[in-house]
């Protein structure tokens, strides 16, 4: 496994060339996008795609996202309705993934055998340079072991996938910190499958009415993984995590009264004295950028349980609550009594 560093805004041509040569021989490459680090193969390579699934230990029915450098390349991959194409001309490159009918061009491994394909154009110079030099789309999920918090830095990739990846491109921290928004445009109205940096409110400005099912809020799992992030548990630290809807200081006191060492993930000005404090940030954008790093840090603290304040499910708060619900296994305490029941089940 090689690790090559480069400026994220002006990628070294030698680093891009190394990535392209790796992909052309069926290898896999981890690289930053504006959202998180991705683990990429050529979208046309069965061998490379199979290696991605093996490296991550990813369920085989969980499809990958195809990354393109333009709307024209996306239209070679999937059937994009004209009204959706007009929207994508305005929002791409960016953290918006659309699910469309597949043209059968990419590997069936990439689409997990479905007749749909998830596609987006990343707003990051490194993957765009790789796609352009390769002359073909690349496909990949986040570059972490399946179920773990997504990687926002090269060291997170090394922590999870050391020895499993041919090349890691260290382009510094990811810009946004959480995965792209995914919208299924094969249905009317379009359905939000996974909330992300492009908020539901912003989506409605471009797509019109948007349906938001319970699994997009992290309240359930979808029956079929039509896209990443809708069926399986994701983003989870080893340390149990609970979302708290009441005063954090009271939550910490109750848990300590049961002999538990407690860490607090502080967000949006909400914190409390505990055995460990992990600062997510004052704004929701800071919280998104720092969330996965904090979840990884939680496992390095000498604590038994972590608590995090519930956030308003508006704007970026919807995406954050989706991630927190999945990371916590949907452990939510709306009252002190609920928290005690959760704690007793963990003891």
Give pLDDT tens digits for 192-229. Answer: 999 999 999 999 999 999 999 998 999 887 766 567 76
Q: Give the DSSP letter of residue 211.
A: B
Query: Which of 183, 217, 251 is the last residue before a domain boundary?
Result: 217
Tell me which residue range forms the domain holding 94.
2-217
Instruction: Kindly report the average pLDDT of the chain as a whole number.
Output: 95
DSSP string, 115-139: SEEEEE--S-HHHHHHHHHHTS-EE
What 3-state class would DSSP assign to 276?
Answer: strand
β-strands 2-5, 167-170 pairing: parallel
- How does pLDDT run across 28-48, given as a tens digit for each residue? 999 999 999 999 999 999 999
Same domain, 74 and 211: yes
Residues 62 and 202 in one domain: yes
Can you read off the two tokens belonging to residue 185?
A: 């445009």
- pLDDT score at 232: 60
Q: Residue 319 above 80 pLDDT?
A: yes
Is 227 inside any structural domain? no
Q: Is 236 helix (H, G, I), strand (E, B) or coil?
A: coil
Instruction: Please report, to the nearest 10 degrees, the dihedral formed by the alpha carbons of residues 301, 305, 306, 311 taken in order.
Output: 170
Task: Report percent pLDDT > 90 for the chain.
Answer: 90
Question: What pLDDT shows up at residue 235?
Answer: 77
Residue 334 within any structural domain of the chain? yes
In a domain, 160, yes or no: yes
pLDDT digits (tens, 9 = 90+) for 123-170: 999 999 999 999 999 999 999 998 899 999 999 999 999 999 999 999
pLDDT at residue number 225: 59
In angstroms, rounded to a whole number, what is the distance separating the alpha carbons of residues 234 and 228?
10
Write the CB contacts of 59 (distance below 8 Å, at least 6 apart in sequence).
146, 225, 231, 232
Which helix (DSSP H) or strand (DSSP E) does residue 98 occupy?
Answer: strand 96-102
Residue 167 CB partners (closer than 8 Å, separation 6+): 1, 2, 3, 4, 18, 19, 22, 27, 28, 29, 30
**How far from 126 is each of 11, 74, 129, CA to CA, in Å?**
6, 18, 5
Q: Please choose, from the candidates 303, 307, 229, 297, the residue with its C-alpha nearest in 3D space to the C-alpha of residue 264.
A: 307
Listed range (11-20, 215-224, 237-246) with the worst mean pLDDT: 215-224
pLDDT digits (tens, 9 = 90+) for 287-311: 999 999 999 999 999 999 999 999 9
The predicted structure's pLDDT at residue 221: 78
What is the average per-residue pLDDT within 301-324?
A: 96
What is the secondary structure of 3-20 as a DSSP string? EEE--SSS--HHHHHHHH
Cβ–Cβ under 8 Å, residues 97 and 183: yes
pLDDT of residue 223: 67
Residue 202 and residue 301 share a domain: no
Contact (CB, 8 A) for 295 and 237: yes
Give the CATH number, domain containing residue 178. Answer: 3.90.870.10
Given a cut of 70, is residue 315 above it in pLDDT?
Answer: yes
Shared domain check, 188 and 322: no
Q: Residue 268 — very low, low, confident or very high, per pLDDT cuts 50/70/90? A: confident
Position 313 scores a pLDDT of: 96
Residue 234 lies in a domain: no
State the total domains in the chain. 2
Q: Would you state the pLDDT for residue 230?
A: 67
Same domain for 137 and 12, yes or no, is: yes
Across 17-21, 92-96, 146-150, 172-176, least confident range: 146-150
- Does 245 lie in the same domain as 185? no
pLDDT at residue number 169: 98
The pLDDT value recorded for residue 347 is 74
Select, from the ranges 214-228, 229-243, 307-321, the one with the highest average predicted confidence (pLDDT): 307-321
Whether the pLDDT of residue 231 is over 60: the answer is no
pTM score: 0.95
Counting DSSP H helices and E strands in the chain, the numbers are 12, 16
């Amino acid at each position: 496994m090689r690790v090559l560093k480069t400026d994220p805004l002006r990628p070294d041509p030698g680093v891009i060339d190394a990535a392209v040569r790796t992909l052309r021989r069926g290898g896999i490459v981890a690289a930053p996008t504006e959202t998180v680090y991705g683990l990429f193969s050529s979208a046309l390579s069965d061998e490379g795609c199979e290696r991605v699934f093996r490296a991550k230990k990813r369920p085989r029915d969980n499809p990958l996202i195809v990354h393109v450098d333009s709307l024209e390349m996306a239209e070679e991959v999937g059937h994009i309705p004209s009204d959706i194409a007009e929207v994508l001309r305005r929002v791409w490159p960016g953290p918006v993934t659309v699910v469309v009918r597949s043209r059968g061009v990419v590997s069936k491994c990439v689409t997990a055998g479905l007749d749909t394909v998830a596609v987006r154009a990343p707003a990051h110079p490194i993957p765009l340079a790789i796609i352009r030099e390769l002359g073909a789309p690349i496909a990949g999920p986040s570059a972490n072991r399946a179920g773990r918090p997504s990687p926002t830095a090269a060291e997170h990739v090394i922590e999870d996938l050391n020895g499993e990846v041919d090349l890691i491109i260290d382009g510094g921290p990811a810009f946004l910190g959480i995965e792209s928004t995914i919208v299924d445009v094969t249905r009317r109205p379009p359905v939000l499958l996974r909330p992300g940096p492009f908020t539901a409110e912003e989506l409605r400005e471009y797509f019109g009415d948007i349906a938001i099912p319970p699994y997009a809020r992290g309240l359930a799992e979808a029956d079929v993984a039509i896209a990443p992030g809708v069926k399986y548990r994701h983003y989870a630290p080893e340390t149990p995590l609970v979302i708290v809807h009441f005063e954090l200081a009271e939550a910490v006191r109750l848990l300590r009264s049961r002999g538990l060492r407690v860490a607090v993930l502080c967000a949006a000005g909400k914190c409390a004295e505990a055995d460990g404090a992990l600062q997510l940030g004052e704004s929701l954008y800071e919280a998104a950028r720092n969330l996965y790093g904090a979840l990884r840090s939680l496992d390095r603290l000498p604590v038994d349980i972590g608590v995090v304040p519930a956030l308003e499910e508006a704007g970026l708060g919807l995406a954050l609550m989706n991630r927190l619900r999945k990371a916590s296994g949907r452990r939510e305490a709306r009252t002190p009594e609920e928290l005690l029941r959760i704690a007793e089940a963990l003891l």
